[in-house]
Amino acid sequence: MEQALAEMALIKNAMADLIAANFAKMDTNGDGSLDKAELKASMADDPNFEFPPTIKGDSQEAKLDAFFNFLDANHDGKITLDEMVNGMNSFIDEAIAEAVAAGLAANTSEQ
């Protein structure tokens, strides 16, 4: 378990570095935060972009709204680097929790 936590911390650090590197590129007007248009444009530029599975919506536009509102933790209409890192980390936590739950279920069924 401790090793898993250490690996999780490594993943988060790597993710934080990746986000920081991309954030400056996504912040096209250079004001240090992302507005919805900048988030949308950066997603449109990335053919591999997928919304996290916890983001639900009937359309891409609805998902963009949900994704933006999730990341914009203080709801000021802008996503700061901290908000972005925290938001993505919470998606990692959810993914890990699901993987752990799936692993536990698999282990249980093998016994």
Q: How far is the CB of 75 from Ca ion (least distance, A)?
A: 7
Q: How far is the CB of 30 from Ca ion (least distance, A)?
A: 7
The full length of the chain comes to: 111
Interaction of residue 29 with Ca ion, rule CB under 5 A: yes
Q: How far is the CB of 24 from Ca ion (least distance, A)?
A: 10
Kindly tell me which of 55 and 78 has the beta carbon lying closer to Ca ion. Answer: 78
Q: How far is the CB of 3 from Ca ion (least distance, A)?
A: 34
Distance CA 21, CA 55 (A): 24
Name residues contacting Ca ion, limited to 75-104 (CB under 5 A): 76, 78
Q: Which residues pair with 15 in a beta bridge?
A: none
The site map against Ca ion for 39-78 (x = CB under 5 A) is ---------------------------------x-x-x-x
Applying CB under 5 A, the residues found at the interface with Ca ion are 27, 29, 31, 72, 74, 76, 78
